[in-house]
Every structure is written in C-alpha cells, then in structure tokens.
Amino acid sequence: MAETDTETPRERYRTQVRAEIKEHAREQIATAGASALSLNAIAKRMGLSGPALYRYYAGRDDLITELVEDAYRSLADTLHAAAASGPDPRALAHAMRGWALEDPQRYLLIYGTPVPGYHAPDHVTVIANELMTTLLDACSATLPDGPVTPLDTHLANHRHWAADHPASPAVLHRALTFWTRLHGVLSLELAGHFAGMGFDPALLFAAELEDLLTDGGDPPTDHR
C-alpha cells in the first residue's frame, strides 16, 4: 500500500460508500438469505433513494458477485492462516467449520444452490484455486500412500485443476474426499437438515474428520 497517498477524496468517499453498501447487504443476506437482498431496502437504510446505489454497483448481480468474491477471499485467508499454524489438517477443518457457522448464509453463498445461467468471473476461480492449493498442501503432509485405486489413476490423468502442485494422485484423491466429506456434513447442518434429529453435528463432523485422517493407513480392499 505504498501508493495510497495518491487517493483522491472522491475515491476515498466512493470506496467507503461501497463498503457501507456491502455491510448492509451482508447483514441483510445473513438474516433473510441472498434471494431476499433488496437494493431499495439498503438505500433506504442508508438514508438515500433507490437509484443512488447504481452509482456504486451496476446492479444486484454486481453486488452479489462482489459479496461472493469477498466470501471466497475470507475463507481462503481463514484456511491459509489455519494451515500456517501447523501441518495438522484438523486445524484447517475446524477453521472451515468455524468460518461456516459464523455466517451460514455466507458459506451457502459460495457452496449453496447456484443460479443456472450464472458464470463466476475469473477473480473467483483464482481464489478457488488458491483454496485448493492450501488444501492440497495440508493433505500432502500426512499420508502413507496406500495402493492405487481406480480413481487415483483417473486423477493422475486429469490433474488439470492441480497442474502446478507437486502432489501424488493419492494426495489429490485425499484432498477431494477431505473437501466433499466435510462439505457434506457442513452443508446439511447449515441447511437445517439435522435440526430435528437431536444429535450434535459437531460430533459427526469430528468423526468424519478423524476417519479421514486415520483411514489413510489401511485403504479398502479394491475388489471389483
């Protein structure tokens, strides 16, 4: 940030108002979901009239896209910080769960129901790749590398998504299951599907995590 002195007052004001708009949008999404986000409501809450917001965001989609990008950025930073604290993937997993529970709608903004026509801009995919990299790093540490499964050989030939990462196919496989299993528990918990069941989702999450970390030593017999 060496060149912040070149910021004109106009630019400073603009970025501040944009931040304030996003703040209200976040609050609104957290309480009523992304589908209920209303530019008009935000404007009224900020003391100005509807069309004024279009000076700052091209439209509803533009605002939501930036919120998605911020969410990705926040998750990437959180996981990166957790991974930096040590080589144990447990820290990463618990950081992920904590981040998700902190604001469920923010997690669902990334991993929830997508709009069929929508395509994420490049910024987002870049951060998603960064996320994948920290996950691969964490999964590279602890692994005895058991026998090769059919999926492993397939991933060896389709590692486009981890092109520049020096990870074995088994690590790719491990990272994917790490992702999908934790997301499986987490998304169902956040969506409220465990609500009436009575058990503690944290224990299910912990059990899945332990299974992920201990299961590597003795892979399943590949009969088929």
User: Is there binding between residue 54 and DNA (CB under 7 A)?
Assistant: yes
SS3 content of the chain, % helix, strand, coil (to 5): 70, 0, 30
User: Is there binding between residue 187 and a copy of itself (CB under 8 A)?
Assistant: yes
Site for a copy of itself, residues 127 to 166, rule: CB under 8 A: 128, 149-151, 154-155, 158-161
DSSP state of 46: T
User: Is there binding between residue 198 and DNA (CB under 7 A)?
Assistant: no
User: Is there binding between residue 213 and DNA (CB under 7 A)?
Assistant: no
For residue 41, the one-letter residue type is A
Site for a copy of itself, residues 39 to 98, rule: CB under 8 A: none
By rule CB under 7 A, what string of x and - marks binding of each residue 57-96 to DNA?
-xxxx-----------------------------------
User: Is there binding between residue 115 and DNA (CB under 7 A)?
Assistant: no
Q: What angle do CA 42, 45, 46 make, to 5 degrees?
A: 90
Backbone angles phi, psi at 111, to 5 degrees: -105, 5
Which of 4, 6, 8, 35 forms a contact with a copy of itself (CB under 8 A)?
35
Report the nearest approach of a copy of itself to the CB of residue 158 (Å). Answer: 4
CA-based torsion, 181, 140, 135, 155: positive or negative: negative
Q: How far apart are the C-alpha atoms of 43 and 54, rounded to whole Å?
A: 10
Q: How far apart are the C-alpha atoms of 42 and 34, rounded to whole Å?
A: 13
Site for DNA, rule CB under 7 A: 1, 8-10, 13-14, 17, 37-41, 43, 47-52, 54-56, 58-61
